Structure 1
Amino acid sequence: MATILYARVSTVEQNIDIQKAQAESAGFQIDEVIADHGVSGVSTALADRPEGKRLFDVLRRGDVLVVRWVDRLGRNYQDVTDTIRHFMRKGVVIRTVINGLTFDGATTDPMQEAVRDALIAFMAATAQAQAEAIKEAQRAGIAAARENITAYRGRKPSYDRPTLERILEMNRNGVATLAIAKELGLSRGAVRRVIDNPDEAVKALEKWGA
């Protein structure tokens, strides 16, 4: 019988050593570490990960699979519950470092089975809910950042620097605003703003890196 730690980190910059140290601090004697680096638990099922799929071949009846928490196996409800039940049917015991949970398929008591299965479902659902909350927070952060940038920069100019210079040149040569707009494919208002305040027009371009 072997005790195998499965670790997963979402980015290549993260380190699995922390997960191993946590497991050992919790009293686990790890015989082997199988780890995936830079792999999403949301979009990639355990069986599709470079190292995760090895677990399906390596684990044998009586082995113990240790994970920091069930979210290391995945953040998709269906995938996590299917994975845990698959390993339990093989006689593998799954244990978590956080909360010290044990999922064992050996029990035949229907009440114990019901409690175990309910706990598996709850933990898997929690893992997915956390992932969705993180994604939503990231989307909100990106949106807020974009709003802040727009508030600072203002509306992006519809012209670039060569076009601005062309507007001013045509204006000096007595070309009418409407004619300039038609030739350069701009609105009459945009041309008027450049002519009326060329310094502000230049500053607007600079804010957008033009």
Structure 2
Amino acid sequence: MLVRAYLRASTDEQDATRARAQLEAFAEERGLIIASTYIENESGAKLARPELFRLLSDARKGDILLIEQVDRLSRLTADDWQKLRTELHQREVKVVALDLPTSWISAAPSDEFTGRMFEAINGMMLDVLAAVARKDYDDRRRRQAQGQAKAKAEGRYRGRVEDVKRNDGIASMLRAKMSWTQIQHATGASRATIAKIAKRDVSITA
């Protein structure tokens, strides 16, 4: 049984590695080995997350997907959450979250009865926390939209300021034929940001 740590932040400006030390401490306390760590800056509301699915592709039966909080794994709609749950179930990957103590039993040896009982409890709790995370996401988006609408009406809204220096650097890396993965590691930018820059810079695709 190996541990695969998953660290996610929603935007390029956020530090996706913030909880790394906590995950490592959790594993060390239980004598677990973190085989690999997967880091990405993508919205938890998106199912299409390259690093998450690379983790699932790498995982073997019985491996642990270790996260800080359930919302790091999912802010998905109900349909997308069920798709991800099915993927986890088919690959027999166990989810352990620091904010879900009942999931910690999956990180320790147990008899068949105890394992099945806690698997059922954790499945229910994961569904509940994933639904709460989605509601929180929808509520924040609604409040943000309301705030922006008010600011626009009052002539105060300017939108997000572009990081021109970083984006110019990404464009230069793309022209130099660097891979998107290399660019992500060098800049911390999301694949969505790299794709946007590649699309708008004609000289890259010409």
Q: Return the TM-score normalized by structure 2.
A: 0.59
Matched residue count: 145
Task: Give the SS at the match of 1:126.
Answer: helix
Q: Is the 8 A contact 1:69 1:96 kept in 2?
A: yes
- Aligned counterpart for 1:128 among listed residues 121, 134, 141: 134
Greater RCO structure (CA 8 Å; 6+ sep): 2
Separation (CA, whole Å) in 2 of partners of 1:112 and 1:21: 26
**Deviation at 1:27?**
4.5
Would the alpha carbon gap of residues 111 and 31 (structure 1) be closer, same or farther in structure 2, given more than 3 Å must change? closer
Partner of 2:37: 33
**Residues 112 and 14 of structure 1, relative CA distance in 2, 3 Å threshold:** closer
Q: Is the CA contact 1:107–1:113 (under 8 Å) kept in the aligned structure 2?
A: no
CA deviation vs aligned residue, 1:45-88 (integer Å, no higher than 9, x gap): 0xx22222212210111211101222222211332343234323
**Structure 1 134/147 Cα, relative in aligned 2: closer, same or farther at 3 Å?**
same
CA deviation profile, 1:158-197 (whole Å, cap 9, x unmatched): xxxxxxxxxxxxxxxxxxxxxxxxxxxxxxxxxxxxxxxx
> What are the equivalent positions in structure 2 for 1:187-206 lying under 5 Å apart?
none
Corresponding residue for residue 69 of structure 2: 69
| TM alignment of 1:38-117, pairs within 5 A | 39-42=42-45, 44-45=46-47, 48-76=48-76, 77-102=78-103, 114-117=120-123
Unaligned runs of 5+ in 1: 151-210
- Call closer, same or farther: CA 1:100–1:78 in 2, change over 3 Å: farther
Change (3 A) 1:65 1:114: closer
Q: Confirm or deny: 8 A CA contact 1:75 1:131 kept in the other structure.
A: yes
CA distance in 1, matches of 2:80, 2:113: 24
Provide TM-score, normalisation by structure 1. Answer: 0.58
Matching residue of 2:204: none
Partner SS, residue 60 of structure 2 = coil
RMSD: 2.7
Match of 2:187 in 1: none
Contact 1:3 1:66 in 2 (8 A): yes
Who wins on radius of gyration, i.e. which is larger? 1
CA contact (8 A) 1:81 1:124 kept: no
Within 1, Cα distance between the matches of 2:141 and 2:53?
Answer: 25
Q: Deviations over 1:84-139 (max 9, x none)?
A: 343234222110122334186x9668865653332222111111101101101111
Letter in 1 for 2:50: P
Q: Indicate conservation of the 8 Å contact 1:74/1:80, yes or no.
A: yes
Between stretches 116-125 and 131-140, larger displacement belongs to 116-125
Change (3 A) 1:112 1:56: closer
Matched-pair identity in %: 27
